[in-house]
């Protein structure tokens, strides 16, 4: 049930325009500055908080029942939360799920992430939609002492995500192998036994479930850091190259990633598959441009149309930048579009097995609407082998 904020507020959200929201803090104490976005998913708050694509962002959850399923290590998309904090309508409730191993509030506190409850998230979401993703400072003080002028100044001092390369902050420190497949009842996670294809996955902030999906279609995956060169990639003699999701401004990350991708395309005829930031990296490498969106796409209920088949997929999205479809060069076609706003959601080269999508097929909101993309990648590698 909704909490009452009759007592002194213990959390404050300060927007850069001076707007203040007071609520009840949970998780870690302290202060952080970030961009504020909203997510419309009804489930998956743990996966959202641990998605590296949310680096530099505080997430407002429009669904009120956050915390009701607790947390479990099996659902982490990376080792620790990456999102800067969370904002919710109601205080997190006692977990009620057989898989839960810990309460959300304790999990956040251990990992240094601030939560703010008791907020009118509908009003906050409207503000984000109307003025664009604002810069904010959020603070949690059990004593309820806030210097609002300093909070507003901190929000205004946040530099924002435009021009910011965050992939270097969330990528792996060194290469590693991945062999774990998707979760399945009753075994849970199991390892791939007879892989068919050698895949190099470039980690701009890769989610674990993406790597599991690659393994599930027969891929022996080697993960390389975001700064990998074309020589690093080709040294593994891969059958295909995967470009992962990740945070920040694609143009900034592209300064070192685009030359690598261009090198792979120039020197080989390898299948290439990209998701999210990887999609934007591929588009930049092919000559297109990316632009910052007003408030981005964040949720697990986004309809996307496949322009080649007419099929509509229910997808999971998390991005604040988008590929400008008007800048796609000859030889590159738009394959998918958002049915919310018509923005680009997929591209492919017309003469080579090189393709990418803006959304997250591994998140399975459809639930299997988009898994064919991993199978398409595997089929392209099989065809090249043949």
CB atoms under 10 Å from CB of 173, counted, come to 6
Calculated CA dihedral for residues 299, 303, 305, 309, nearest 10 degrees: 110
**Nearest residue to 117 (alpha-carbon basis) of 145, 92, 85:** 92
Within 13 Å and on the Cβ side, how many CA atoms surround 360?
Answer: 29
Is 172 a residue of the active site?
no
Q: Which two tokens stand for residue 297?
A: 């796409």
Q: Which two tokens stand for residue 258?
A: 């685009």
Q: Give the length of the chain.
A: 386
Helices (H) and strands (E) in the chain, counts: 10, 17
Instruction: Render 366-377 in DSSP notation, one character per residue.
Output: SSSTTTHHHHHH
- Bond from prior residue into 277 cis (ω within 30 degrees of 0): no
Exposed, middle or buried: residue 169 (CB in 10 Å: 0-12, 13-18, 19+)? middle
Catalytic, out of 33, 35, 313, 362: 362
CA 122 to CA 128: how far, in whole Å? 10
**Nearest residue to 228 (alpha-carbon basis) of 211, 208, 206:** 206
Going from the C-alpha of 360 to that of each of 53, 233, 244, 274, the distances in angstroms are 11, 23, 10, 10
Is 143 a residue of the active site?
no
Catalytic, out of 276, 302, 336, 345: 276
Catalytic, out of 298, 302, 336, 360: 360
Residue at token pair 């290469």: 175
Which residues partner with 26 through β-bridges?
115
CA 281 to CA 279: how far, in whole Å? 5
DSSP 73: G
| Catalytic machinery residues | 276, 360, 362
């Amino acid at each position: 049930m909704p909490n009452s904020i009759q007592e002194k507020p213990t959390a404050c959200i300060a927007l850069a325009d001076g707007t203040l929201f007071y609520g009840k803090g949970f998780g870690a104490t302290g202060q952080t500055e970030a961009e504020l976005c909203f997510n419309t998913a009804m489930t998956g708050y743990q996966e959202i908080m641990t998605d590296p694509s949310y680096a530099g962002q505080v997430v407002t959850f429009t669904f009120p029942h956050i915390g009701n399923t607790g947390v479990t290590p099996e659902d982490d998309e990376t080792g620790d939360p990456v999102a800067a904090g969370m904002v919710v309508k109601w205080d997190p409730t006692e977990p009620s799920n057989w898989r839960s191993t810990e309460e959300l509030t304790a999990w956040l506190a251990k990992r240094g992430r601030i939560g703010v409850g008791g907020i009118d998230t509908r009003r906050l979401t409207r503000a984000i939609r109307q003025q664009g993703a604002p810069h904010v400072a959020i603070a949690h003080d059990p004593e309820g002492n806030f210097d609002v002028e300093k909070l507003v100044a901190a929000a205004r001092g946040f530099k924002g995500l435009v021009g910011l390369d965050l992939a270097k902050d969330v990528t792996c420190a060194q290469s590693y192998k991945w062999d774990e497949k998707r979760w399945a009842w009753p075994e849970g996670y199991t390892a791939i036994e007879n892989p068919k294809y050698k895949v190099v996955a470039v980690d701009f902030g890769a989610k674990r479930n993406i790597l599991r999906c690659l393994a599930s279609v027969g891929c022996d995956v080697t993960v390389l850091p975001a700064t990998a060169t074309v020589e690093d990639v080709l040294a593994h003699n891969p059958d295909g190259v995967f470009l992962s999701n990740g945070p920040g401004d694609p143009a900034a990350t592209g300064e070192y990633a685009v030359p690598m991708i261009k090198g792979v395309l120039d020197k080989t005829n390898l299948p290439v598959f990209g998701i999210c930031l990887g999609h934007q990296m591929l588009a930049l490498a092919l000559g297109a441009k990316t632009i910052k969106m007003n408030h981005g796409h964040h949720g697990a209920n986004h309809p996307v149309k496949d322009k080649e088949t007419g099929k509509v997929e229910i997808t999971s999205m998390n991005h604040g930048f988008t590929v400008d479809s008007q800048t796609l060069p000859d030889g590159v076609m738009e394959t998918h579009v958002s049915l919310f706003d018509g923005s680009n959601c997929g591209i492919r080269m017309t003469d080579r097995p090189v393709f990418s999508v803006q959304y997250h097929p591994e998140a399975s909101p459809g639930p299997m609407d988009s898994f064919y993309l991993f199978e398409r990648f595997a089929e392209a590698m099989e065809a090249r082998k043949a």
